[in-house]
Amino acid sequence: MLALLATMCGSLQAGDLAVKCLFPAGGQAGSHISVTCTGTFESWPVEVWTDDAGLKFMPGQTIGQLEVEISSTTRIGPHLVRFYHPTSVTPPVQFVVGNNPEFIAPSSSNTLTTTVIDSFPATLNGLITRTNRVNTFTLRLPDSCQLEAAVCAVALDAPASPSLELLDEKTNRVALQHAAPDRDTTLSSFISAGGVYLLRVFVNGAEDDRKELLETEAAAYRVTVSANPAKPPPTTTVQAPRSLQTVVEMFRPMVAVRTLMIPSVTRGVIAPAGRQINYGFETRGQERFRFRVIAKSIDSPLQPLLRVLDNDMTVLAEAAPAGDAELVWVSPGPGSYIVAVSDVEENGGPLYSFQLEVASPEPFFRATVEAHSYRLKPGESIPVVVNLKRPSASDSILQVSALSLPDGISCVPQTAEPGVDKVTLQLRADSTAAPANRPFVVSVVDVRSVPPQFDHAVAPLVGRYAPLGRLLINETDQLWLTVAP
């Protein structure tokens, strides 16, 4: 497996250090797993940094092999991992921590897993290569359930997104879902009769762009599978005409927009199944809103889908999956918008209650830098240009500082008066500065606000294959500084 991966995955270059991919690309919280990291290493072992103290990568004796400890307290979701040695550091690599049992596909093509997966939800990990274009997982599904299988590959920066096919025990096709270019896909199918089913994860070799990529690349993926109790889909029947009022009442829960008071705490119930509750609100300009849907904490079975929409129902922002979902959204300007609450799997019923909390909008400013890593030598200095965005009428005074710098590195804070949209920090290394590799942050504080508002500057993360903004993590405030010998 290691030799195959070493020739198949596109690299993330950092001088003489390059990480090509991690497999598997995630693991379950509270577990210890082995991970293969392929790439170019001038020396081994290398140092590894992660964005969570509960996630630890420990290099093994063999080049490219790592043991990963995932604490039960590690934050669920995607994380960033960097590999480094005294003179180089890689761009961040994504690694996902989940709370479901995890399974790995067999390494040989078209071979069934020996393990029958019968507990859901579950997460499947696999790798599509030029010699292994199909992975097959064996599932034992219950009667009358709704199977959902969601692929994560493009969002992991894989060169292709696999398609999904569900077969029964006799290999008759039950469902098929092809992936669109540059998009991950989800297969959904109602299962009336429980039993053994086969889930095939594959890339269609007939697609020329994917075929060419997979000659030199590998596509690591994760598939989250759920099998929830469900009723058969309704059949088409001839019904007596309904009155106009009845039709209006049927559709009102799906399309009506309620007025949302800000700040407020609002309660609701997602019933019947498939319902979406829309709340309308107004913005006065560029403001930062924080929406929170409480479900898990009140023992609701709701899996909240929390989104902000425009008046054409176009999705502007969506909260990460969580039992209690939270979304921080900055309005682009004055206007009318909608915050929508529904169930991720379109379930619903009298017990699917929630509480929507929205705080007063915060004064908004946003700071960005162009690079996520910087490098200097003793006696040198490098500029860090910080771009500032705030409402044109803002009278905020922003103090910009570089914090958590290594010993021997200094930086004079800069002040941005109202109307100033850019400042430059100078990172200076003493002539005696020791070699170092570590993260640092650029802090921005509005000194006029009471209490002071603060934030960190973020740098964009750009994938090799994923379209802009389609990674699981698209920016980071954990910047990196290498002080070379």
> Mean pLDDT throughout 301-318?
92
**Which CATH number is associated with domain 366-483?**
2.60.40.10
> Mean pLDDT throughout 353-363?
84
Please work out, in degrees rounded to the nearest 5, the angle formed at the alpha carbon of residue 17 by the alpha carbons of 2 and 50.
80
pTM for this structure? Answer: 0.76
The strand pair at 195-202 and 163-168 is best described as antiparallel
The token pair at 79 is: 């994380």
Let me know: does 75 contact 57? Beta carbons within 8 Å.
Answer: no
The architecture that CATH gives domain 102-229 is: Sandwich (2.60)
pLDDT category of residue 232 using cuts at 50, 70 and 90: confident
Q: Give yes or no for residue 251 having a pLDDT over 80.
A: no
pLDDT category of residue 252 using cuts at 50, 70 and 90: very low
Per residue in 126-135, pLDDT (tens digit) is 998 877 788 9
| Least confident window among 64-73, 164-173, 353-362 | 353-362
User: How far apart, in whole angstroms, are the C-alpha atoms of residue 177 and residue 183?
Assistant: 12
> Across all residues in the chain, what is the average pLDDT?
86
Distances (CA, A) of 80 to 1, 448, 473: 24, 34, 8
Q: Give the largest CA-CA distance in the chain.
A: 87
Per residue in 435-484, pLDDT (tens digit) is 999 999 999 999 988 778 888 999 999 988 888 888 999 999 999 999 99
Q: Give yes or no for residue 191 having a pLDDT over 90.
A: yes
Residues 6 or more apart whose Cβ sits within 8 Å of residue 185: 150, 151, 161, 163, 164, 177, 178, 179
| Least confident window among 190-199, 242-251, 351-360, 391-400 | 242-251
Q: Give yes or no for residue 60 having a pLDDT over 50.
A: yes
State the pLDDT at residue 291.
95
State the pLDDT at residue 41.
87
The token pair at 13 is: 């270059």
Number of residues assigned to the chain? 485
Let me know: does 352 contact 275? Beta carbons within 8 Å.
Answer: no
State the pLDDT at residue 210.
53
State the pLDDT at residue 218.
80
User: How far apart, in whole angstroms, are the C-alpha atoms of residue 167 and residue 246?
Assistant: 41
- Cα of first residue to Cα of last residue in the chain, in angstroms, is 36
Q: What is the radius of gyration, based on Cα positions, of the chain?
A: 25
> Mean pLDDT throughout 4-8?
36
Give residue limits of the domains in the chain: 2-98, 102-229, 244-363, 366-483
Considering the chain, what percentage of its residues have pLDDT values greater than 90?
Answer: 59
Per residue in 69-85, pLDDT (tens digit) is 999 999 988 999 999 99
State the pLDDT at residue 154.
92
- At residue 445, what is the residue type? V
Q: Give yes or no for residue 255 having a pLDDT over 80.
A: no
In which element (H, E) is residue 103 found? strand 102-104
Q: Give yes or no for residue 107 having a pLDDT over 80.
A: no
CA 293, 295, 301, 306: dihedral to nearest 10 degrees? Answer: 10
For the domain made up of 244-363, give the CATH fold: Jelly Rolls (2.60.120)
| Least confident window among 234-238, 280-284, 304-308 | 234-238
pLDDT category of residue 245 using cuts at 50, 70 and 90: very low
Equal CATH topology for 102-229 and 244-363: yes
| Least confident window among 11-20, 242-251, 435-444 | 242-251
**Which CATH number is associated with domain 2-98?**
2.60.40.10
Q: Give yes or no for residue 56 having a pLDDT over 70.
A: yes
Per residue in 203-226, pLDDT (tens digit) is 875 544 555 666 667 889 999 999
Bigger pLDDT: 113 vs 197: 197
> Mean pLDDT throughout 299-307?
93
| Least confident window among 34-38, 388-392, 421-425, 467-471 | 388-392
Say whether the peptide bond before residue 106 is cis (omega within 30 degrees of 0).
no
SS3 397: coil
Q: Give yes or no for residue 403 having a pLDDT over 70.
A: yes
Q: Give yes or no for residue 250 having a pLDDT over 70.
A: no
Per residue in 139-162, pLDDT (tens digit) is 999 999 999 999 999 999 998 889
Cβ count near 448 (within 10 Å): 14
User: How far apart, in whole angstroms, are the C-alpha atoms of residue 347 and residue 295?
Assistant: 14
The candidate with the shortest Cα–Cα distance to 121, out of 223, 198, 232, is: 223
Which stretches of 105-218 are assigned E, i.e. beta strand? 112-117, 122-128, 134-141, 145-152, 163-168, 173-177, 186-191, 195-202
